[in-house]
Structure 1
Amino acid sequence: MDFEISKKQIGERIIGLRSKRGLSQDELAKNIGISRPSLTQLELGNRSLSLTELQKLSALFGFSLDDFMSKDFDATQNLEVPSNLNPDQITERISVPTLNVNKFKNILLYILERCAGKPNVGETVLYKLLYFSDFNYYELYEEHLTGAAYKKLPYGPVPQKLDSILNQMIGENQIQRIKTEYKGFPQKRYLPLEKANLIELKASEKDVIDKVIQQMSDWSATAISDYSHKDLPWEVTEEGKNISYNLAFYRELPYSVRVYDEDEND
């Protein structure tokens, strides 16, 4: 019986090729002449790959059409790079986050400046405001905001190394930890003792954080936790594993923050 490749398998192979070459979705979409939403649908297996698009992928990545459609195709193999390919088209991208401690501290201070006076903003809400700021920014700009790694835990996404950063900030008199109650439950909160250095933040970064604060900072811990549990990056990650920032590209409304032109079609 002849092997028939499914749309899902095609999508997985495209993801493998793109990841190996270090291309963003925007870069690959431009190189094969389709919109980014169309590429997203291809990678999700929700859209068929045309022959023209396949030929462009073949020229870009250096594989034969027969090989790509075969059962044993390996997207991670060493493929020939066409000699006429612009080096700028294969720019290496850093998909693994690297924590910027100083920026993380300033973003934390900025969020606390805006929200510490709200009685609902304890540790749980604070963690989620950080998570959505980081992942929303990555979805929009394909760059890391704080570079924090987030792990999937039963109560939601939690930035790693946060405890040590908080303790360091307490020791440096940047923040104060207090224990209180909110609606009858014990709550751990943090108060800023100094202002954030906004020089550390680009206008685009501050804009994303402001929108997250505006949308979610009045939510209860239960409401924001429930909301985060339906966010695709958290939802599809195995418990105890780090959440991949690249999963932000597959969000759908109301979680997706990237706006596409309605006429952005093939």
Structure 2
Amino acid sequence: MGNEISKKEIGERIINLRLKKGFSQDDLAKSIGISRPSLTQIELGNRGISFSEMQKLSVVLSFSLDDFVSKDFYSKQHLELPDEAEENIAEERISVPTLNINKFKNILLYILEHCSGKPNVGETVLYKLLYFSDFNYYELYEEHLTGANYKKLPYGPVPQKLDAIIDQMIELKQIEKIKTDYKGFPQKRFIPLEKADLTRLKASEKDVIDKVIDQMSDWSANAISDYSHKDLPWEVTEMGCDISYNLAFYRELPYSVRVYNEEEND
């Protein structure tokens, strides 16, 4: 079968069928007895798929192998796809998160508690710490952390509605905004005036944020911006557009935060 269509085409068709049936990557991988990283690599076209794995997929996703390798695959899928399922696919591909303002505020306060004393942590570094906390958590748990939308801008991913939240927190005297110079450049910084409510953070959420802080909070604005530019979700998104959380599933090392227990060389 691999001689008839490319690995990339196989991956794209599996994505199409998976979304049509409403399977997450994790659910589909478990149902056919492989790891999620393996399925990710198959969907990206980086890993071949065995005949036995394809047979299992055909049962779980309800397709015939003849239809799968057919030149008319997409037209057949379109004809069989009900309107409601088509809408669900569009929604999953867009992956519209819902902003949890209280969670966002507490995570912002938590990061500032640990980092506001560091002279390098101005607005740019803060944005990236928030971005990697959000996207790393989503990659690990398929759940949104703050639910913030991030837009691709020239200096890296920027959380939307942040200005309004910051202004509200300043008004409520939760944080203070100061302007300083750092290495000869003007810098906007934020100082926490109260502690984060840790009862609003799960242990898994705190763990992800702590790891981001440990890894990146000492980096300069230029270093963390350059690093974010090589993260696949930012890299493949068009400038000025929202970055889809689902793209986190296609990261590779060193950006991927999942533990790859299975070697991808089979």
TM superposition score normalised by structure 2: 0.89
Q: Deviations over 1:87-142 (max 9, x none)?
A: xxxxx989431111110000000000111111111000000000000111111111
Residue 175 (structure 1) aligned with residue 149 (structure 2): no
Provide the alpha-carbon RMSD of the alignment: 2.2
Q: Hey, what does 2:85 align to over in structure 1?
A: none
Pick the structure with more helix per residue: 2
For 2:19, the aligned partner's letter is: S
Q: Hey, what does 1:23 align to over in structure 2?
A: 23
In the alignment, the residues of structure 2 paired with residue 77 and residue 243 of structure 1 have an alpha-carbon distance, to the nearest angstrom, of 30
In the alignment, the residues of structure 2 paired with residue 247 and residue 163 of structure 1 have an alpha-carbon distance, to the nearest angstrom, of 25
For 1:183, the aligned partner's letter is: K
Cα pair 2:67 2:73 within 8 Å, conserved: yes
Cα pair 1:128 1:225 within 8 Å, conserved: yes
Q: Deviations over 1:6-35 (max 9, x none)?
A: 110110111122223332211101111222
Give the alignment of 1:229-240 within 5 angstroms: 229-240=229-240
Residue 79 (structure 1) shift: 5.8
Q: Hey, what does 1:8 align to over in structure 2?
A: 8
Cα pair 1:34 1:265 within 8 Å, conserved: no
Q: 1:77 to 1:219 in 2, by over 3 A?
A: farther
Q: Secondary structure at the match of 1:238?
A: coil
For 1:244, the aligned partner's letter is: S
Residue 78 (structure 1) shift: 3.9
Residue 156 (structure 1) shift: 0.2
Q: Secondary structure at the match of 2:73?
A: coil
In the alignment, the residues of structure 1 paired with residue 254 and residue 214 of structure 2 have an alpha-carbon distance, to the nearest angstrom, of 15
In the alignment, the residues of structure 2 paired with residue 35 and residue 233 of structure 1 have an alpha-carbon distance, to the nearest angstrom, of 22
Q: 1:25 to 1:220 in 2, by over 3 A?
A: same
Cα pair 1:122 1:188 within 8 Å, conserved: yes
Q: Hey, what does 1:154 align to over in structure 2?
A: 154
Residue 207 (structure 1) aligned with residue 207 (structure 2): yes
In the alignment, the residues of structure 1 paired with residue 78 and residue 138 of structure 2 have an alpha-carbon distance, to the nearest angstrom, of 25
Cα pair 2:38 2:262 within 8 Å, conserved: no
Identity %: 79
Q: Deviations over 1:188-234 (max 9, x none)?
A: 11111111111110001001101110111111100100111111111
Cα pair 2:7 2:42 within 8 Å, conserved: yes
Cα pair 2:153 2:239 within 8 Å, conserved: yes
Q: Hey, what does 1:134 align to over in structure 2?
A: 134
Q: Hey, what does 1:70 align to over in structure 2?
A: 70
Cα pair 2:41 2:264 within 8 Å, conserved: no
Using the TM superposition, name which of 9-18 and 188-197 deviates more: 9-18
Residue 48 (structure 1) aligned with residue 48 (structure 2): yes
For 1:219, the aligned partner's letter is: W
Alignment coverage as a number of residue pairs = 253
